[in-house]
Every structure is written in structure tokens, then in C-alpha cells.
Amino acid sequence: MNAKPRGVVLPTLLLILLLAAALRFYRLDAQSFWNDEGNAIRAAQRPIPLVIAAAAGDIHPPGYYLLLHFWRIPTGDREFAVRTLSVFIGLLAVALTGRLGQRMLGAGVGAGAALLAALSPLAVYYSQEARMYGLLGLIAVAATDLLWSLLHRPRRATALLYALVAAAGLYTHYSFPFLLVAHNLLVFGVRIPSGLRRRCREEQDERPGLSLRTWIVLQMLVGLLYLPWLPAALRATGWPSAGRGYTLGAALLDIFRALTVGITLETEPACPVLIGAGVLLALSLWPRRNAALAGATLALWLLVPLALIFAFDLYKPAYLKFLLAVLPAFHILLAAGIHRLVWPFRLPRPLLSLILGALYALMGAALLPSLRNLYFNPTYARDNYRQIAADIEALGRPGDGVLLNAPNQWEVFTYYYQGDLPLYPAPYHPTPERMAEWLAPILSSHQRLFVLYWGDREADPERRMENLLADGAYPAWSRWYGRVRLALYGLGPLPAEPWVAVRAHFGPEILLHGYTVGAGPFAPGDVLPVTLFWEATAPPGRYKVFLHLLDAAGRLVAQNDAEPRGDLSPTFIWSVGERVTDRHGVYLPPELPPGRYRLVAGMYRTDTGERLPIVQDGTPAGDALELDIVTVDIPHIP
């Protein structure tokens, strides 16, 4: 298994790299930049001093941003060009994974590891993203490859190159020290008097190994190279902890799923391949005398960073991208498990090659559903700021404004949006007073507002902006573009009392005291403002409010279906006797013809869609209450 017939390696590796390139270039620009990619390209467009200054206040060091800065100078700023940097980084990682697998465990394992790296949905995903995680994986495998050389035949040039690569890793991502911990545990473990040390020396053909003194000096050199950035690193905000809101077993399964089939396939459909990969991993980690150093290196490389992720409470689905640093070790171990599965049978080489090829083909076929989801399933698509910007440009008109609930949406939104509407990035973690003060002049100077909601838990965990807009504007509609929600609000007078008083019971639990409908006429594209004044007369269930605009034939031409106060005050949380002022906006489509339309309101159960019966002044009134006749006209343009 440790034989290394080099004649077949280069042609095989070239074929594997062609496959890897095809998977990574395929539909490379089909999806929009998402928030973090927008931040990366905007950072890279700045002069170098500003790139460094921005990274000093960020949760990532400047290495990738500087690399992207120089990459984009000849290639440009389009999605395909920017992401191509990550593609080539991913291809280098595939090649180095194969090289290291060959050096450790033979040509067959090396080729198999490269193939698994080429097909890996997790690797493909981050090879198509303009972020630093692919670079983190490349530097991890490069540093480990250099360490492997040092353990067998220390040379000054190799040691210096290791120091440079390790320092580059520190400048790339703040989780890279986890790998350095694994490297140090390996070196100190190999150098102590033990059976492992003796076996490792046998593998090294009794050549002088890396001395502890040399290694300590080398680590000091890495620290010295990183020293200029160390103060900024110590001041870095850091990633929000997971709050240990997980069970260890479920978290480990999620990590194993991500390493095996990526983040674009859920656990249940992935179960067969996860079981198979688990068997292969167990086989590869079983101690072997003739591969003790390789086994120790790969095990520490894989397990130590994972242990530190849990120790520092950094496990959450959003941080699964940190696994790129251990992915090459995982692929080498899987390839070793495949070869160990068939090697004891001592089959003729042609038959052995045929069986190994079938096993790798089976593994590749098992990864196809995840790759298909990555390319085509909208559930796993990146946030579509490209479409958001296009929709705002199509629907926007003079008098509108655009609010960004998280200020760091500015970079990605302005990458796509080239319109003239004023943009307002919200304050970060505002006090209620600060948010109200900031929002007041915006509400008074516009007719409609487009609002982008993203990252509420970090930017505005108490949803202060959304609550102020629910009370100070008229929510008309909202649409999801991945994890970003675009909402449209109408603006206008805010009546505190109903203009029309009624006494209408919706079901046995909710009473409508009255309502106010904005004065017309309205034009297509306007938001029709409606305020409803409710009271809970008994503990209510969960209901949605509907406002329907009907033409003369009773056909629906516009509507707003939402829970009260823009979904912020669902009926099931109302207290008996509580009064609720509930503002809704009905968006009038741009193609709506002029005419007179009936506006009706009602409620229905969120689970079944069944409408609540209405009783007005003791008389049954059906399931829809007519509020007003709305006139729509084409505005006069002087």
C-alpha cells in the first residue's frame, strides 16, 4: 500500500484536475454575490492602506482581501472573474491533497484523495464563493505537506517556507491557530521517547528527524512574522459564540455530514453515504505499524481543530465553513479507508484497480444529489441581491427610499444597485431612542420605502426598526430572496382613532372597533393605507388578516394577507381586553386599470385557511367586511 509508482500519478492527477475545474467553473456566476462576498469585493477595491484598516476592525484578517485586491486588477470585478480566484485556489488544494496523500500512503491513496477533493460538495461550494475559506483549506494542506517534509528530512529552505506558509494562514483566518496546535502536538508527540517515535523513525529510514529546538525556533519565526498584526487580532471582535445551544451528538453528525456530502444535502437522504464514509473512516484510523506517522498526522489534523471548535463554543451551522481547514485530512483518510477495505484480499492488480474504480464511482454517484442541489436547488442558493436590486430598479419611482436594516449590506447592495433612490443604512445595535430619532426624518420625506432585512439576530435582535415601521408606516408586502427579505411600506398620515366606527365580531374572540382607509384617489403603484382597530374579547387563536381589492366583477386585483402589525403581533399572543392598532398597506399593481374597486377585510385561520364568520351589530355579515370604495386613476403629469 505504500508503494509509489509515479508513472500513473501525473496523467491521473491531470484528469482529476480537469474534473475538478469543470465542477467549479460550472454555473460559477449563476448566483448573486451574497452579503459577505459583497463585503469582500468592496474591501478589495479599496487602496491597500484602507484594506488593512478595514480588516483591523473586522472578524477576519486582511490576507484574502489583499490577494483579491491584486487579483481583480487584471481580471475585473464581475462575479465570474472574482470567484475565479477561489476556483484556482480550490484546484491547487485538490492537487496538494493528492500530493500529500501520495507521499503519506502511496500513489493510489493520493489519487483517490485528489478525486474525493475534486468531487467534494463542500469544496466545490467554497471554490465558487469569493471568500477566504478555500484559501484557508489550501494553506492548511500546504503547511501540513511542508511539515511532513520537515519530519522526514529537515532543510532550511523547507523550514523557511513552512514559516511563511503558516504565517500566511494566520493572516488568512483566525481559526488557523487550531491547525498549528495540531502540528505542535504531532511534533512534540513524535519527539518524545515512545513506541510511536520508534515506529516513526523506522518510516523515516533512520534519517535525522526534526529537532525540538529547530521546531521551537520555527514557531517563534511564525510568531515574529505575525507580530505586526497581533495587536489588531487581539482587538478583533471575534465570532459570536454558539451559546452551546446544541447537543454534541447532533453537532458531530452535522460536521460529519458537511465533510462527507457538504451543506447542500440534509442528513436523512445522506444516511447511506454517511454510514459508508463512517466505516471507511474507522478503517483508516485503525492503527497500523507501517503508517504510524501518517495516521498520527491525519488524526491530529482532523480531530484537534474540531475539538477546539467545541472548546471555544464555535459550533453552529454558519461556521461549518471552518471545516475547509480539515477537509484535506478527511479526504486522505477516506481514500485510505477505501484502499484498506480491499487491500487484504491480495487480488491481482487489474482486478484490484477495477474494484477500487467501482468504489470511487459509487462514492461519486452518492455525492451527485448534493452537487445537484448546489447548482439548482433554490433552498441552498445564496442570497439574491442581484434580483433585489433589479426589482427595486423596476418598481422604484421618485419619492421612494431604500433602508438597510444591517449597515454592512451597503457593500453588496451597492455592487448591484445603480439607481437613484436614496439609501439609508441603519445604525448597528441601536437604542430605541436612537432608532426612532434616525427613522423619523426618513418617514417624513418619502412616499414609499423598500426595506432589506438581513441578519436580524446580529444587527437588530429586538427588531426595533421593524416595530417602528409597523407603527409608523403601512407594510404592503415582503418577499424572500434567500435569507434576505425585501419589504415595501407605504407612508402617510397615522390615525390614532378610527374614522369609521363599527362593532364587528370576527369569530367569538376578536372585535373590530373601527377602521381608517386613506383618502384617494390613488394611482397604480401606490400603497393604499388601511388602519384597523382591534380588541381581543376572549383568548384568540392564530389568525391572519386579509385585505382584498375587488373589481366590479368581484375579481381579486390586489391584496395584503398578513398577521397584525406586519406579522409582529400575531393574534394568539393578544391579551383579553387588549387594543391593537394594526396598519396594513395594499400595493396597487402598476398595471391596475383606472376604476372604482371594493375594499373588503376579514380574518382566517393560519393552519386551515378557514375564514372567521363576521357578525356586525348583532347581524351575520358573511366572512368579508366591506370597508370602502377605492378610486384608482392615472396621475396627471404636467
Q: What is the CATH number of the domain that holds 538?
A: 2.60.40.770
**Do 557 and 550 touch, CB atoms closer than 8 A?**
yes
pLDDT at 428: 79
Mean pLDDT of the chain: 92
Q: Are residues 415 and 553 part of one domain?
A: no
Q: Are residues 433 and 407 part of one domain?
A: yes
pLDDT at 5: 41
Burial of 322 (0-12, 13-18, 19+ CB in 10 A): buried
In a domain, residue 505? The reply is: yes
In a domain, residue 478? The reply is: yes
In a domain, residue 266? The reply is: yes
How far apart are alpha carbons 428 and 413 in whole angstroms? 17
Domain-terminating residue out of 461, 490, 519: 490
How far apart are alpha carbons 624 and 602 in whole angstroms? 5
Q: Are residues 504 and 480 part of one domain?
A: no
The confidence band for 238, taking pLDDT boundaries of 50, 70 and 90, is: low
User: DSSP per residue over 411-428, as a string?
Assistant: HHHHHH--S-S-EEEPPS
Q: Are residues 156 and 67 part of one domain?
A: yes
Q: Are residues 169 and 67 part of one domain?
A: yes
pLDDT digit string, tens, across residues 295-305: 999 999 999 99
Q: Which residues contact 63 (CB under 8 A, 6 or more apart)?
A: 132, 135, 168, 171, 172, 173
Count of CA atoms in the C-beta half-sphere (13 A) of 220: 6
Domain residues for 603?
Answer: 500-632
In this structure, what DSSP letter does residue 12 have?
Answer: H
Q: Which residues contact 32 (CB under 8 A, 6 or more apart)?
A: 79, 382, 383, 384, 385, 386, 387, 416
Least confident of 184-193, 431-440, 592-601: 184-193
Q: Are residues 512 and 474 part of one domain?
A: no
pLDDT digit string, tens, across residues 473-528: 999 999 999 999 999 999 999 999 999 999 999 999 999 999 999 998 999 999 99
- For the record, the C-alpha cell of 322 comes out as 471552518
Q: Are residues 103 and 145 part of one domain?
A: yes
Least confident of 193-202, 262-271, 516-525, 537-546: 193-202
Cis bond upstream, residue 521 (ω within 30): yes
In a domain, residue 495? The reply is: no
How far apart are alpha carbons 546 and 601 in whole angstroms? 6
How far apart are alpha carbons 621 and 370 in whole angstroms? 53
Q: Are residues 372 and 341 part of one domain?
A: yes
Helix, strand, coil percentages in the chain from 3-state DSSP, rounded to 5: 55, 15, 30
The amino acid that residue 354 corresponds to is L
Q: Are residues 304 and 253 part of one domain?
A: yes
Domain-terminating residue out of 380, 411, 439: 380
What are the Cα distances from residue 266, in Å, to 94, 262, 303, 586? 25, 9, 23, 38
Total tally of structural domains belonging to the chain: 3
How far apart are alpha carbons 186 and 179 in whole angstroms? 11
How far apart are alpha carbons 115 and 195 in whole angstroms? 34
Give the three-class secondary structure for 184: helix
Domain-terminating residue out of 490, 522, 550: 490
Q: Is residue 210 predicted with pLDDT exceeding 90?
A: no
The amino acid that residue 223 corresponds to is G
The amino acid that residue 485 corresponds to is R
Burial 472-495 (b: 16+ CB within 10 A, else e): bbbbbbeeebbebbbbbbbbbeeb
What are the Cα distances from residue 116, in Å, to 84, 134, 327, 342? 21, 16, 10, 18
Q: Which residues contact 348 (CB under 8 A, 6 or more apart)?
A: none
pLDDT digit string, tens, across residues 36-87: 999 999 999 999 999 999 898 888 999 999 999 999 999 999 999 999 999 9
Q: Are residues 506 and 469 part of one domain?
A: no
Q: Which residues contact 510 (CB under 8 A, 6 or more apart)?
A: 534, 535, 536, 537, 540, 543, 571, 603, 612
Q: Is the pTM of this model over 0.85?
A: yes
Q: Is residue 253 predicted with pLDDT exceeding 90?
A: yes
How far apart are alpha carbons 374 and 27 in whole angstroms? 10
Q: Are residues 460 and 543 part of one domain?
A: no
In this structure, what DSSP letter does residue 379 have?
Answer: G
Q: Is residue 288 predicted with pLDDT exceeding 80?
A: no
Burial of 65 (0-12, 13-18, 19+ CB in 10 A): buried
pLDDT digit string, tens, across residues 425-484: 998 778 889 999 999 999 999 999 999 999 877 778 888 899 999 999 999 999 999 999
How far apart are alpha carbons 175 and 320 in whole angstroms? 12
Q: Are residues 583 and 546 part of one domain?
A: yes
Task: Tell me the average pLDDT across 91-95.
Answer: 98
- For the record, the C-alpha cell of 588 comes out as 396597487
In a domain, residue 392? The reply is: no
**Do 540 and 572 touch, CB atoms closer than 8 A?**
yes
Helix axis angle, 349-376 to 267-285, nearest 10°:
140
How far apart are alpha carbons 143 and 543 in whole angstroms? 58
Task: Scan for cell 368581484, then name that residue.
Answer: 554
The more confident residue out of 173 and 212 is: 173
- For the record, the C-alpha cell of 337 comes out as 479507508
Burial 261-299 (b: 16+ CB within 10 A, else e): bbbbbeeeebeebbebbeebbebbbeebeebbbbbbbbb
**Do 257 and 277 touch, CB atoms closer than 8 A?**
no
Strand partners, 544: 604
Q: Is residue 124 predicted with pLDDT exceeding 70?
A: yes
In a domain, residue 150? The reply is: yes
Task: Tell me the average pLDDT across 574-598.
Answer: 96
Q: Is residue 201 predicted with pLDDT exceeding 80?
A: no
Q: Is residue 346 predicted with pLDDT exceeding 80?
A: no
The confidence band for 197, taking pLDDT boundaries of 50, 70 and 90, is: low
How far apart are alpha carbons 196 and 200 in whole angstroms? 6
In a domain, residue 555? The reply is: yes
What are the Cα distances from residue 264, in Å, to 31, 120, 258, 260, 368? 15, 11, 8, 11, 11
Q: What percent of the chain has pLDDT over 90?
A: 81
In a domain, residue 638? The reply is: no
pLDDT at 345: 72
